[in-house]
Amino acid sequence: MAKEFELNEVEVWDGNYAASQALRQAQIDVVAAYPITPSTPIVEGYGAYVANGYVDGEFVMVESEHAAMSGCVGAAAAGGRVATATSSQGFALMTEVLYQASGMRLPIVLTVVNRALASPLNVRGDHSDMYLGRDSGWIQIDAFNAQEAYDLPLCAFRIGEHLDVRLPVMVHQDGFTTSHKAQNVYPLKDDVAYKFVGDYVPVDEMLDFTRPVTHGAQTEEDWHYEHKAKQHKAIMDSKTVIDEVFEDFKKLTGREYKRVETYMMEDAEVALVLLGSSVETAVLAAKQLREEEGIKVGVVAPRCFRPFPYDLVREALDVPTLKAVCCLDKSSPGGAMGALFNEVSAAAYTTSSRPMITNYIYGLGGRDFAMDEAKRIMKEQKAHADAGHITTNIQQFSGLRGPKLGFYETRRS
C-alpha cells in the first residue's frame, strides 16, 4: 500500500513538481518514461516517489521516447492506468506511437512541457511540440501556471478514462516559464485527489483471460475510414465530459476551468487570442491598458487545444463591440498562417460580428514575450479598429531582430 505524502495547504512548487505530484496521487499502474529537458523533473520526481514507497505501480525505464510511449500503449492495452511525460524532440520521437494510442482508444495521460523543436537545437519553451500533436487524436489541455499544471492532470485522467471518451490526454505547460518557476500551489490531500480521479475501469483489457482480444489490428480501405470517423466523433463529443469534469473539479476546489478562458471580453473592442503562460502576461497588459489608455482590450485563451473549442471560441468572439482580434502563434508555421489564426478565423467567420483578424508569430525558441510588446500589439489592433481595416500585414513577427517581416494584406476595405 502506497504511503501517504504529507502536504501543506499551500506548497511552493514549480510546474514540473506540481505535475509529478498529480501523477503520484492518481496511483498509476505503469509509468514508462525517458526523461528530457525541460520535463525531466516530472520523471525524476515520480521515480523518487516510487523508490520511497509513495507509489504502488511500476516505473519502467526505457531506451527512448518511442519506447516510452510504446510501453504505455502496451500497459494501457493490458488494462492499467498509464502516464508519462516528455518534451520537444522526445515528443517528436513519440509521434508515431501517439497516433497508435489514440486510434487504439487508450486513455494514457501525457504531461508535455512545451519546448521548441530543432533545428536549431533549443531547450527553451515554444509551442512547436504541442502543435505537432494537434492532429494526433489526443485531447490537449493547456496549463498556464503551476497550479494548473497540478490541477489539470487530475482532470485529464477523469476525462480520458470516462467510458464515453476513452482517449489519451495531453496536459501541456510551458517549458521553463511554467515548468521551472516556483509558485504557490494549493494541492489536494492524497485521498481527496484519488477520490476525484477514481478507480481505473479497464475496457477490453488484454489481461482478461476469459475474453482474449487483439489490439492494434490492421485495416485497409474497407474499414480504416469508419474507425477514424468513430474516433473523430469521440474526441469531438468529449467536450461534454470535459465540461462535466471541470464542473466537478470546481465543486471540489473552487478553481474553475473552461474549455475557453475569457478575460474582459464583455465590452472588448480589441482582443488577443493566445495559449500558455503568455495568457497571464496578456491579461495583465490588457488590464493596464484599460486603465492607462482606456482601450477596451480582452483576452481569449483556449484551455482546450484539442478538441478545438469551435463553439466557445465563436461565442467568445461574437461580441457586438469587437472589431479587431490578433491570434498569436508560438510555433513557426512553416509556410502557412499560424494554426491558431487559421482555426480562430474559421470559427469567427461564422459569427455576425466577424471581426478583423491578424496573426503574430512570437516567442520562438523561448524568446521573451513581455508586457510592453503585448501592449504594443493591443494598440496595433486598436489602430485597425479605428481605421476600419487592417493597417499592417496580416501575418507579422513579434520580437524579431532585423528588417520587419510580414506577409499578406487585407482585401477588405
- Given the rule CB under 8 A, which residues bind another protein? 103-106, 166, 203-204, 209-217, 219-220, 222-223, 225-227, 229-230, 233-234
Shortest distance, CB of residue 104 to another protein, whole angstroms?
Answer: 5
Shortest distance, CB of residue 112 to another protein, whole angstroms?
Answer: 22
Nearer to another protein, 215 or 379 (CB): 215
Helix (H) or strand (E) holding 286: helix 278-293
Q: What is the DSSP string of 290-355?
A: HHHH---EEEEEESEEES--HHHHHHHH--TT--EEEEEESS--SSSS-HHHHHHHHHHTTSSS--
Shortest distance, CB of residue 142 to another protein, whole angstroms?
Answer: 26
Shortest distance, CB of residue 165 to another protein, whole angstroms?
Answer: 11
**Residue (of 266, 290, 252, 273) closest to 347 by Cα position:** 273
Shortest distance, CB of residue 222 to another protein, whole angstroms?
Answer: 6
**Distance of alpha carbon 128 from alpha carbon 112, whole angstroms:** 12
Nearer to another protein, 24 or 166 (CB): 166
Cell numbers 500500500 correspond to what residue?
A: 1
Nearer to another protein, 79 or 333 (CB): 79
**Residue (of 244, 271, 282, 297) closest to 370 by Cα position:** 282
Shortest distance, CB of residue 135 to another protein, whole angstroms?
Answer: 18
Nearer to another protein, 214 or 413 (CB): 214
**Distance of alpha carbon 270 from alpha carbon 383, whole angstroms:** 10
Q: Name residue 396's beta-bridge partners.
A: 360, 406
Nearer to another protein, 231 or 321 (CB): 231
Query: 230: Cβ–Cβ under 8 A, 6 or more apart, which residues?
Result: none
Pairing of strands 260-263, 297-302: antiparallel
Can you state the angle between helices 190-197 and 224-253, rounded to 10 degrees?
140
Shortest distance, CB of residue 223 to another protein, whole angstroms?
Answer: 7
Nearer to another protein, 227 or 250 (CB): 227
Cell numbers 472589431 correspond to what residue?
A: 323
Nearer to another protein, 8 or 210 (CB): 210
